[in-house]
Amino acid sequence: MVELQINTTQNVNINFVAASVGERILAYLIDLIIKLAYVVVTYQILFKAFEINEILVDMDMWSIIAIILTFYLPVIFYSLIFETFLDGQTIGKRIMKIKVVKIDGYQASIYDYLVRWFFRIIDLNLFGPIFGPVVALIAIVTNKKSQRLGDMTAGTSVITLKNNVNISHTILEELEDDYVPTYPNVIKLSDNDARIIKETYTRAKAARDYETLIKLRQKVIEVIELKEYNQNDMQFIDTILKDYNYYTQNM
């Protein structure tokens, strides 16, 4: 078991457990089966049932390649599509309860998923779907953060979600029944952002570290793109956390 310590931009350390090699291999195999199933079904439906093969006979080579690639684009972009829309998970990763995260503590972006997808050519697909993962396996085993080449380049890692306390448990705030939110822009934050904000706020408040509170307030304002507020730093952060809980609990 590899413990992955993430030091956020607010100097807050968060400990995760990196996904094991076995979990990542099983997730890869599940995704591979899904992709192979798509290829078989697509071939049976489009190329046999609709007899597209007969149409391709009269076309030039580049047109044939273009048509075939169009049908199989979902396979080519499988990991990019699912990791983008499933919050760092493919179907295989979701089944295995593992996900992609940034090593700076923030949610990975579509750019990060794109970099990971691009480097699959080298560390997953270079030697084919069966022997291709050897490069990735070597990188994961030898890297202290269990990263393959795509992870190293994108600044990401794959963590396990098993046996972890739900992230929302660490960011709950007591709300009155008639609580009225102040900043609707807080919905731009993720659960991870809210947890980092709360941990940083709690530590800075206890230590009376007003400089950190000012920086934290400035960062929150930047992230949620807030133009106006009329509270001091502690009141502002406290309201942000309560508003976040209000909106996420009522979504």
Is residue 244 very low, low, confident or very high in pLDDT (cuts 50, 70, 90)? confident
Element (H, E) at 27: helix 21-42
| pLDDT value at 17 more than 70 | yes
User: Average of pLDDT values for 113-142?
Assistant: 77
> How high is the pLDDT of residue 55?
64
**pLDDT higher than threshold 80 for residue 237:** yes
* pLDDT digit string, tens, across residues 174-207: 677 788 888 888 888 887 788 888 888 888 888 8
Predicted structure pTM score: 0.59
- Per the CB < 8 A criterion, the answer to whether 189 and 223 are in contact is yes
CA 100, CA 64: separation in Å to the nearest integer?
36
User: Tokens standing for 71?
Assistant: 């049908």
CA distance 224 to 244: 11
The string of DSSP letters for 54-118 reads HHHTTS-HHHHHHHHHHHTHHHHTHHHHHHHHTTS--HHHHHHTEEEEETTSSPPPHHHHHHHHH
Residues 74-111: pLDDT tens digits? 998 999 999 999 888 999 999 999 999 888 656 788 99
Q: What are phi and psi of 89, to 5 degrees?
A: -130, 145
Residue 91, CA distances (Å) to 96, 99, 131 in order:
9, 10, 21
- Residue by residue, DSSP assigns 106-153 as SPPPHHHHHHHHHHHHHHTSTTHHHHTHHHHHHHHHHSTT---HHHHH
Q: Which residue has the higher pLDDT, 34 or 180?
A: 34
Mean pLDDT in residue range 44-60: 66
Give 101's strand partners.
Answer: 157
Q: Give the C-alpha separation, 244 to 46, whole Å.
A: 48
% of residues, the chain, pLDDT over 90: 17
Q: Are 1 and 15 in contact (CB under 8 A)?
A: no
Q: How far is CA 183 from CA 29, 74, 188, 241, in A?
A: 44, 39, 11, 10
